[in-house]
A and B are shown apart, each in its own frame.
Chain A
Amino acid sequence: MTIPFSRLSDDDLATCVHCGLCLDACPTFRVTGLETESPRGRIYLMTQWKRGTLPFDEEQVKHIDLCLGCRTCEGVCPSGVPYGRIIEAGRADVEDQRRPSLKRAASRAALRQLVGHPGRLRAAGVATRAAQKLRLTSVARSGRMLPQLGAPFRAPAGGVAPAAGERKHRVAFLVGCVMPIMYPQSHHAAVRLLQLAGCEVWFPQGERCCGALFAHNGDIEGAERLRDANTRMYQAASFDALIVDSAGCGAHLKDFYPELKGRVKDLTEWLAQVGLPEPKREVRVRVTYQDACHLAHAQKIKKEPRDLIRTLPGVEWVEMRHAEICCGAAGLYSTLEPDMSNRILREKLDDVLATRADVLAVANPGCQMQLEAGLRKRGSTMKVEHVSEVLARGY
């Protein structure tokens, strides 16, 4: 066993001045009202563990488990506390200390054995699709959460989609692990937009999961293995940017892949930079937007998706209250902490429904799944679409 809490950096922890400005930005503090479920409280706890002034207590790990990792607090922290880095290190350190549990072991095994291997994940997708056709999915809660699966996304033959018209850029596209199975339509729309923007889109062969879900759940070593494999593949090719349309992956690639520094771009960030041609069609819908935590807070991208949607002709834009607050999905969180996830979702849905929008635009598959399931349960007919799909309506 390593030295207890050796991954946590005392200097990172010391950047917190305990001012409390983060409290009301934290979804778990907002619903519980408790210091222990706030970023400041969690940092205080980890600081004491790290310095040995409070003994490690299995009971208190729940405060770390309950963190969504949404990093909304980072955006409001004037002191620049690197909360994302702290909580990832803290989670990995905690894994060494706590008693093993079946649930966590199962989710880690599922991550390593399933998500880490695209082939196996695709097979699981095929199985789920078959089960949905046979109406077998209502037996498990996670089954009910899933969208109706269609044919998964497949890269075009030859691994390249040509630019529409003159080729101005060559970009790589992250197909990823969950998106192609759950939301192939988002990828289709994203690739189409890239082609319209004059990009030749390359789909790297042999791409593995980016490792985001591993790192977020305290498996930094697992994430490092995937990074090394992917980096070798990217190094062998030349491209202007790696385009990512899933916020969680984008944030992880930007933070965790030094070789790609400056070249990882969220789809909306890239499209805002290179520009799209004039839309061809009026899009007569009322649209609102839910920030993806890993886009708004981890990548500080809030303006681009809004501007892109707002400039579509015919769109009636409506800003949602508390759009920057997490919906409670947070990767595996909705499965590992269903109660807290639901409490947060309940408040979110009130704000979503108050917009009376026709379409709720999102930027991450986790948010999409959570919000779709929540809206369905409330009997709403509001559509949840990836930003790419909303934009593609204009062409």
Chain B
Amino acid sequence: MPIHEVVAEELRRAVGRESVIVSPHDLRIFERDGSIEGAMPDAVVLVSTTQEASEVMKIAARHRIPVVPRGAGTGLSGGAVTIRGGIALQVTRMRRILEIDPVAQTALVEPGVVNQELSLVAAQHGLFYAPDPSSQKACTLGGNAAENSGGPHCLYYGVTTNHVLGMEVVLADGTVRWVSGDAPDRVGLDLCGLLVGSEGTLCAITKIKVRLLRVPPSVATLLAAFPSIEAASHAVSAIIGHGIVPAALEMMDNVTVGAVEAHYQAGYPTDAGAVLLVEVDGIAESTRELMAAITDILAHNQGYAMREAQTPAERELLWAGRKGAIGALGRIKPNYYLHDGVVPRSRLPQVLSAVGEIGEHYKLPVANVFHAGDGNLHPNILFDLRDREVLHQVEAAGEEMLRAVVELGGALSGEHGIGLEKAAFMPWIFTDDDLNAMHRVKDVFDEQGILNPGKIFPDPTRARIHLAGRTGLALEARWW
């Protein structure tokens, strides 16, 4: 439904004519994020200050229009998709790093700051920002906080919520508030912890105070090949079983390695059934010792062709391959449907063989690339959206994979958020009472239900997954 001209005019007065997009053809370009589903916003509004964000929220509250905060749109669960239309609140122009305090080891940033940019700037003080989603070259810290994003190094360092000290947020009625702040401990009920990971359903984030860490003096990165994904899973359990928690512990299967190697030529062994990327950091003596122990464990668990990065450039290349892995799958098929389930580490071999069987049953290629250290799977079902026949197969296979995760005692999402994609499956792991409690929290923050509606909470009126109908590439013209 096109936005009413009166509302559009109010928005233009609040943020300037240039910063409001209502042309339907242009809005079409904003219908998707990094996930597969799409839905057009009724307006895109670019805000440059907290004040502007607050004004926009007040207008939206007055007219009861949905508001969906949007950063770079790299999310993988549909968090930034305007499934009920409304305003896409674009924060990409709020990209200033306002302050870096090298003594307190904190940074105050605007939500549009790109994740990697913060680490690059902090490096001048010997500091870095630990959570490192694979999309860190493009994704924003606002999006990271909203989705409570993880990344390869979160195994050791913890996910986003462990690094957010406080936030300035705009509430559903347009009021601006700080939650928590400078103190390392959050006293009282942890409101900041509640808002981090609320996926835009409770507030819009306009400033974030984050913890920075000292760059470790020594890092060692090892690549190891395994004959099968099961062997690699056992090796993961063995490392953790020995009481070692590496900084990162990542797995890629044969399909993924092939795609990655085609682009990065990082020297991944393309004949291996799976590879592990293991990193440890700390003082030089301890990393040497740990890496020796890990190498030993891997060798005892069928690990071969082990190669430690000798230079920072080599290390970077090994990581570039891992971080670009999901995009690289485009070399096999133009679309992926990605799930993000987590299982207890000990169940990795079982769940991976279940995923493999489901893929075979539906005759769909599946690529696994994931955070093995914390049991966080990323099975990617590969397909071509132009082949309409295959879509319901993809939907069914995806659902079965998630079902397998839950049956093995796992959870729906490790780091991508529930978003649009997994809302329908929430009742699998939460009781009605759990969900009601969440609804009551939602009502406290957003009585009118205008903040990112249709996300997290299951919507009985909506099909579970419905790729063909809602994707932006649907062949049917929908609105003219």
Contacts and interface: CB of A to CB of B under 8 A. Distances in A.
Interface string A124-168: 000000000000000000000000000000000000000000000
A23 B26 contact: no
A184 interface: no
Given A17-B335, A34-B92, A79 B328 contact: yes
B327 A17 contact: yes
B334 interface: yes
Contacts of B95: 33
Contacts, number: 119
A23 B475 CA distance: 26
**B29, B33, B92, B384 pick with most chain A CB within 10 angstroms:** B29
Given A34-B90, A36-B29, A78-B324, A23 B74 contact: yes
Given A14-B384, A34-B90, A59-B23, A20 B74 contact: yes
A35 B30 CA distance: 6
Contacts of B137: 21, 24-25, 76
Nearest to A23: B138
Contact of A19 (B21, B74, B264, B384): B74
A36 B93 CA distance: 14
A313 to B, nearest CB: 24
Nearest to B116: A24
A360 interface: no
A24 B330 contact: no
Nearest to A19: B327
B26 A79 contact: no
Given A17-B334, A78-B263, A35 B29 contact: yes
A55 B480 contact: yes
A35 B29 CA distance: 7
Nearest to B330: A79
Contacts of A321: 120
B330 A16 contact: yes
Contacts of B139: 20
A29 B95 CA distance: 12
B330 A21 contact: no
Interface residues of B, number: 50
Contacts of B334: 14-17
Nearest to B386: A14
Nearest to B331: A80
Contacts of B384: 14
A81 B25 contact: no
Interface string B105-139: 00000001010010010000000000000010111
A54 interface: yes
A79 B480 contact: no
B26 A78 contact: no
A33 B331 contact: no
A302 to B, nearest CB: 12
Interface in B422-480: 472-475, 477, 480
Contact of A15 (B28, B330, B477): B330
Contacts of A15: 330-331, 334
B329 interface: yes
B311 to A, nearest CB: 13
B79 interface: no
Interface string B297-340: 00000000000000000000000000011111111001110000
Nearest to B46: A33
Contacts of B25: 54-55, 57, 59-60
Nearest to A56: B25
Contact of B28 (A29, A48, A77): A48
Contacts of B260: 78
Given A14-B384, A18-B32, A20-B34, A53 B327 contact: no
A80 B262 CA distance: 9
**B73, B90, B95, B474 pick with most chain A CB within 10 angstroms:** B73
Contact of B29 (A25, A45, A59): A45
Nearest to B140: A24
A251 B87 CA distance: 42
A32 B480 CA distance: 28
A71 to B, nearest CB: 15
Interface string A1-40: 0000000001000111111111111000100111110000
A44 interface: yes
Nearest to A43: B29
Interface string B16-27: 000001010110
Contacts of A48: 28
A48 to B, nearest CB: 7
Contacts of B30: 35-36
A15 B385 CA distance: 11
A24 B72 contact: yes
Contacts of B262: 80
Given A20-B135, A20-B138, A35 B73 contact: yes
Contacts of A41: 29
A293 B29 CA distance: 26
The 5 closest A-B pairs by CB, nearest first: A79-B330, A33-B92, A78-B324, A78-B327, A20-B74
Interface of B: 21, 23, 25-26, 28-30, 32-34, 44, 46, 72-74, 90, 92-93, 95, 112, 114, 117, 120, 135, 137-139, 260, 262-264, 324-331, 334-336, 384, 386, 472-475, 477, 480
Given A33-B95, A34-B21, A53-B473, 9 more contacts: A18-B34, A20-B135, A21-B135, A24-B117, A32-B93, A33-B92, A78-B260, A78-B330, A79-B329
Interface of A: 10, 14-25, 29, 32-36, 41, 44-45, 47-48, 51, 53-55, 57, 59-60, 63, 76-81, 321
17 contacts: A15-B334, A17-B335, A19-B74, A19-B135, A23-B138, A24-B72, A33-B95, A34-B90, A53-B475, A54-B28, A55-B480, A59-B25, A59-B26, A76-B137, A78-B264, A78-B325, A81-B330
